[in-house]
Amino acid sequence: MIWRKFNGEMILEPIKQSVEEAIIREHEAGHRLKVCIGTDSQVKAHETEFATVIVFLREGRGGFMFIHNESTQINYSIKERMLMEVAKSIEIAYELCDLFTAYHVDMEVHADINTNPQFKSNEALREATGYILGMGFAFKAKPEAFASSSCANKIVN
């Protein structure tokens, strides 16, 4: 997987190493961190583009994020696409969760799924909630899921 910073700088080492270095650097600077992981997608012609973000929030001091993009030719239903977004976020959360535990960093998985039943994405809410909570992660959906619905959304659009 290829990751980059918001400024476009490529992250050359494995993402787990980069996240650990960021946590250590921020703790040494005296910042208390919270991490939110989210994925959004956009269908463009015959291609679906996904953007996954790891958002680091410094308590009272702004934040920064790491970004991963990927595209596929697979044509998903809306429910499949929402669950694929959640799966991509969980994959990264699972890879990094031992770091967050070791360094006492709170982490949430954010799903770009609307809690309002009038929206099509709501079809995937029950399954996504069960999947995320079943993995033991804290969870936010729209409108509180800013990592996916704001941060990743800006990257994929």
Bigger pLDDT: 131 vs 91: 91
Q: Please give the pLDDT value at position 118.
A: 83
* Nearby residues of 9 by Cβ (< 8 Å), 6 or more positions away: none
The answer on pLDDT for 124 being more than 90 is no
DSSP per-residue string spanning the chain: --EEETTS-EE-S-HHHHHHHHHHHHHHTT--EEEEEEEEEEEETTEEEEEEEEEEEETTS-EEEEEEEEEE-----HHHHHHHHHHHHHHHHHHHHHHHHHTT-EEEEEEEEESSTTSGGGGGHHHHHHHHHHTT-EEEEETS-HIIIIIIHHHH-
Q: Please give the pLDDT value at position 107.
A: 97
How are strands ordered across the β-sheet holding 138-142?
10-11, 3-5, 63-72, 47-58, 33-44, 106-114, 138-142
Question: What range does the domain containing 19 cover?
Answer: 3-156
- Model confidence pLDDT, tens digit, residues 59-109: 889 999 999 999 999 989 988 999 999 999 999 999 999 999 999 999 999
Q: Please give the pLDDT value at position 5.
A: 96
Per the structure, the count of domains in the chain is 1
For residues 72, 155, 100, 95, the Cα torsion angle rounded to the nearest 10 degrees is 10
> Would you place residue 156 in the very low, low, confident or very high pLDDT band (cuts 50, 70, 90)?
confident
The answer on pLDDT for 16 being more than 90 is yes
Q: Are the C-beta atoms of residues 3 and 67 closer than 8 Å to each other?
A: yes
Q: Are the C-beta atoms of residues 66 and 91 closer than 8 Å to each other?
A: no
> Would you place residue 113 in the very low, low, confident or very high pLDDT band (cuts 50, 70, 90)?
confident
- Model confidence pLDDT, tens digit, residues 26-58: 999 999 999 999 999 999 888 999 999 999 999
Q: Please give the pLDDT value at position 45.
A: 87
For residue 65, the cross-strand partners are: 55
